[in-house]
């Protein structure tokens, strides 16, 4: 148990170091890159004085280190700064922009994941068990096509058939605070379905590969030669070693979900954090972009961290030390 | 992967040589290629056919396309007709012509980006593996940090700082994608640099450039070639996604991602025209994947 605890703590520490370095990279990338940022955002007509004033207002005149620590200090207290897109006497904090959007995105991602994870794992295991049959080949070609298509292709095919032809769903998935839970699920169906198709395809292929890899190992062949029933082989011999690859598959794909969600939210005009980020990028609203990126990156790092920790605590070699 | 270290040329042609290894040297490259193609699975044939069509479209776009990619030739959203085979787009430009020119712009830019990604990532990966020590540590940790941020998200941050232009797009995606190339080329080169013939070359006093390009590189080409196909697909999809979001290839250049976005309204009326550029993206990616699958199968055939 001691060895497990030690490895987990090491991994956690490494995860937090990564998170710290990544946050520093995101916040200081303005300095590291060429381009007259202040001039760009104010337009060509900006005088040197206005540029100076703007830089002072958003803190670009301070040193990168000071700026980073005041930013990350704010972030840790829940203050992500103020959006650049501010009019006279009207400022918007980044938090007030992000939080409701993030809730919407998490709702969509959770809805997708609840269906996608069990479905993909079951289909992937079936494909691995019945490999090289017609069923497996059919699945291989279908999933390859699904992962090769851009998300917006799948999304618009669904729109074509389910909205334009069958009139089953609304074309836009607009929701707000007043939308009821059932209505919300109904409106999220199309974006969730799009994400589902991409994620399930990815996850299935990876599950299949992981299981086949495992079933090819010598100790499984040994147990087969001993005459143990297939059921017992899977449950008692394969499964204890399968948790790590399965956790990895789930984490990688949930992380993939984060990126897929950006495009899908834009297609369906779903008010999530991905759409917020894309809007902010085109307006070059840097505080919002950086905060969104930090949220995305943190989720991504934490998911990978979780997968690693599952892999460590289910590792039979660490669980039963000699 | 069991490679023959002393026969670099053989390894280069590895994709085409798996089954008849000893007799190969007597056949010309063309004969070998044809032999392999005859035994290739149907999916590989489909892949090759698709890629060939795209390459022809990209190279001879001005000759094939009925109109120019930027000319306003009709009203907005005209339906399919003899004059405009696939109708017109939101500004009245010919859809078919833009689709053909899109092959040149979208595929060309993705191809160029992938090449840059391989030049950067491959060189650094090989350097890392050959030099080891501090170089390896520093490069490795830098890549770890870059890879800890989802690629599309990081690309969005960088684009918001430097602004959207084709040059920025190519540089940003190439650098972000080179991290994956670095990982792979370092990993496979690690297996080769420990072999005796590399040691011998070092003792002989060969320079670093020679060791990398003549001793190590030829022996790790097959996995890199397969990776090139997969990376191209990934870069292509990323650039298309960015263009679709309005942050990639900018108008008036014809580009598949932005064509889908600009004409998406038509889909709500049951018109499939805007799906064609999206389908063109998917078709090319599937085609390249089919070829890579076949290539990997061939390359791994050496193991048995």
Residue A307 CB burial class (10 angstroms; 0-12, 13-18, ≥19): buried
Work out the pLDDT band at B283, boundaries 50, 70, 90: very high
Q: What is the mean pLDDT of residues A204-218?
A: 85
For residue B148, which residues of chain A lie inside 8 Å, CB to CB? 18, 21-22, 297, 300-301
Name the least confident of A8-22, A218-232, B78-92, B213-227.
B78-92
Contact B284, B58 (CB under 8 A): no
A18 and B246 in contact by Cβ < 8 A?
Answer: no
Q: What is the mean pLDDT of residues A159-179?
A: 80
Omega of the bond leading into B252 within 30 degrees of 0 (cis): yes
For residue A152, which residues of chain B lie inside 8 Å, CB to CB? 241, 244, 257, 260-261, 278
Q: How far apart are CA A275 and CA A263, in angstroms?
A: 8
Contact B36, B15 (CB under 8 A): yes
Residue A35 scores a pLDDT above 90: no
- pLDDT value at residue B52: 93
B163 and A40 in contact by Cβ < 8 A?
Answer: yes
Chain A: give the shortest CA distance to residue B257, in Å.
9
DSSP A240-281: HHHHHHHHHHHHHHHHHHHHHHHHHHHHTT--SHHHHHHHHH
For residue B82, what are its two tokens? 């003899």
Residue B15 scores a pLDDT above 50: no
Contact B258, B109 (CB under 8 A): no
* Contact B147/A at CB under 8 A: no
Q: What is the mean pLDDT of residues A184-200?
A: 89
Residue B65 scores a pLDDT above 70: yes
Chain B nearest-CA residue for A253? B150
- Indicate whether this model's pTM tops 0.95: no
Q: What tens digit of pLDDT does each residue of A269-307 get?
A: 888 898 898 888 888 788 888 888 888 888 888 888 888
Name the least confident of A103-107, A147-151, A311-315.
A311-315
For residue A282, which residues of chain B lie inside 8 Å, CB to CB? 246-247
Count contacts between A and B (CB, < 8 Å): 144
Question: How much of chain B, in percent, has pLDDT values that exceed 70?
Answer: 89
- Whole-Å CA distances, A106 to A101, A121, A303: 9, 22, 14
A267 and B264 in contact by Cβ < 8 A?
Answer: yes
For residue B4, what are its two tokens? 């023959």
- pLDDT value at residue A139: 86
A284 and B163 in contact by Cβ < 8 A?
Answer: yes
Work out the pLDDT band at B172, boundaries 50, 70, 90: very high
B260 and A289 in contact by Cβ < 8 A?
Answer: no
* Contact B277/A at CB under 8 A: no
Work out the pLDDT band at B21, boundaries 50, 70, 90: very low
- Whole-Å CA distances, A266 to A4, A146, A155, A172, A273: 43, 19, 11, 10, 10
Q: What tens digit of pLDDT does each residue of A260-279 get?
A: 888 899 989 888 898 898 88
Work out the pLDDT band at B22, boundaries 50, 70, 90: very low
B150 and A296 in contact by Cβ < 8 A?
Answer: yes
- pLDDT value at residue B13: 43
Q: What tens digit of pLDDT does each residue of A122-138 get?
A: 888 888 888 778 888 88
User: Of B72-81, B108-117, B190-199, where does the model show the most confidence?
Assistant: B108-117
Chain A: give the shortest CA distance to residue B52, in Å.
18
Chain B: give the shortest CA distance to residue A293, in Å.
6
- Of B152, B264, B274, which has the smallest distance from its Cβ to A259's Cβ? B152
Residue B226 CB burial class (10 angstroms; 0-12, 13-18, ≥19): buried
Q: What distance, in Å, lies between the first and last C-alpha atoms of chain B?
A: 10
Which carries the bigger pLDDT value, residue B200 or residue A48?
A: B200
DSSP A76-103: HTT---B-S--BTTB--BHHHHHHHHHH
Chain A nearest-CA residue for B243? A263
DSSP chain B: ----TT-HHHHHGGGGTSTTGGGGGGS-HHHHHHHHHHHS-HHHHHHHHHHHHHHHHHHTHHHH-SS-SS---S-TT--S-SSSTT-B-TTS-BHHHHHHHHIIIIIHHHHHHHHHHHHHHHHHHHHHHHH-HHHHHHHHHHHHHHHTS-HHHHHHHHHHHH---HHHHHHHHHHHHHHHHHHHHHHHHHHHHTSHHHHHHHHTT--HHHIIIIIIHHHHHHHHHHHHHHHHHHHHHHHHHHHHTTSSSPTTS--HHHHHHHHGGGGGGT--TTHHHHHHHHHHHHHHHHHHHHHHHHHHGGG-
Q: What tens digit of pLDDT does each residue of B232-277 get?
A: 999 999 999 999 988 888 877 888 988 898 888 888 887 888 899 9
DSSP label of A234: I
For CA atoms B165, B166, B172, B177, the dihedral sign is positive
DSSP three-state, residue A195: helix
For residue B173, what are its two tokens? 């995606």
Q: What is the mean pLDDT of residues A7-27?
A: 86
- ipTM of this predicted complex? 0.82
Chain A nearest-CA residue for B230? A148
């Amino acid at each position: 148990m001691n060895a497990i605890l030690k490895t987990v703590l090491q991994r956690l520490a490494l995860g937090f170091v990564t998170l710290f370095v990544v946050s520093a990279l995101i916040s200081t990338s303005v300095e590291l890159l060429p381009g007259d940022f202040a001039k760009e955002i104010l337009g060509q007509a900006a005088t040197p004085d206005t540029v100076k004033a703007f830089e002072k207002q958003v803190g670009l005149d301070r040193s990168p280190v000071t700026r980073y620590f005041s930013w990350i200090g704010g972030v840790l207290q829940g203050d992500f700064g103020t959006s650049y897109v501010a009019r006279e006497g009207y400022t918007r904090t980044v938090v007030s922009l992000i939080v409701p959007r993030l809730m919407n995105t998490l709702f969509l991602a959770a809805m997708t994941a609840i269906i996608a994870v069990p479905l993909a794992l079951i289909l992937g295991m079936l494909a691995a068990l019945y490999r090289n049959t017609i069923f497996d080949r059919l699945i291989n070609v279908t999933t390859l096509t699904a992962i090769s298509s851009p998300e917006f292709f799948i999304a618009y095919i669904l729109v074509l058939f389910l909205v334009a032809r069958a009139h089953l769903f609304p074309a836009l998935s607009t929701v707000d605070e007043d939308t009821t839970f059932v209505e919300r699920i109904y409106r999220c169906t199309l974006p969730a379905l799009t994400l589902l198709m991409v994620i399930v395809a990815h996850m299935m292929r990876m599950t299949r590969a992981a299981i086949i890899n495992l079933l090819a190992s010598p100790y499984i062949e040994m147990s087969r030669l001993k005459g143990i029933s297939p059921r017992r082989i899977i449950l008692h011999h394969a499964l204890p070693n399968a948790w790590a690859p399965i956790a990895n598959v789930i984490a990688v794909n949930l992380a993939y979900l984060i990126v897929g969600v950006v495009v899908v939210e834009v297609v369906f005009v779903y008010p999530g954090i991905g759409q917020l980020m894309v809007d902010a990028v085109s307006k070059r609203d840097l505080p919002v972009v950086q905060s969104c990126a930090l949220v995305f990156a943190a989720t991504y790092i934490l998911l990978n961290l979780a997968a690693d920790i599952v892999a460590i605590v289910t590792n039979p070699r660490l669980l039963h030390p000699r | 992967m069991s490679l023959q270290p002393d026969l670099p040329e053989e390894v280069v042609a590895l994709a085409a040589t798996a089954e008849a290894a000893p007799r190969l040297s007597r056949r010309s490259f063309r004969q070998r290629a044809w032999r392999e193609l005859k035994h290739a699975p149907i999916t590989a044939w489909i892949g090759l056919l698709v890629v060939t069509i795209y390459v022809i479209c990209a190279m001879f776009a001005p000759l094939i396309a009925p109109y120019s990619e930027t000319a306003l030739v009709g009203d907005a959203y005209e339906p399919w007709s003899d004059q405009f085979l696939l109708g017109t787009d939101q500004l009245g430009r010919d859809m078919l012509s833009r689709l053909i020119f899109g092959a040149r712009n979208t595929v060309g830019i993705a191809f160029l980006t992938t090449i840059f990604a391989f030049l950067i990532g491959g060189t650094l990966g090989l350097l890392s593996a050959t030099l080891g020590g501090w170089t390896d540590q520093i490069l490795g940790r830098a890549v770890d940090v870059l890879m800890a941020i989802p690629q599309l998200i990081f690309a969005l941050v960088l684009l918001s700082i430097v602004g959207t232009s084709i040059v920025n797009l190519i540089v940003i995606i190439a650098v972000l994608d080179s991290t994956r190339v670095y990982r792979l080329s370092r990993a496979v080169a690690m297996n080769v640099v420990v072999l005796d013939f590399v040691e011998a070359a070092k003792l002989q006093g060969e320079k670093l450039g020679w060791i990398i390009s003549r001793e190590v590189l030829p022996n790790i080409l097959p996995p890199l070639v397969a990776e090139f196909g997969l990376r191209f697909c990934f870069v292509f999809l990323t650039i298309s996604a960015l263009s679709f979001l309005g942050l990639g290839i900018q108008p008036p250049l014809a580009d598949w991602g932005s064509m889908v976005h600009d004409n998406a309204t038509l889909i709500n009326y049951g018109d499939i025209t805007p799906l064609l550029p999206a389908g063109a993206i998917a078709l090319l990616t599937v085609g390249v994947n089919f070829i890579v699958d076949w290539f990997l199968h061939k390359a791994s055939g050496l193991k048995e």
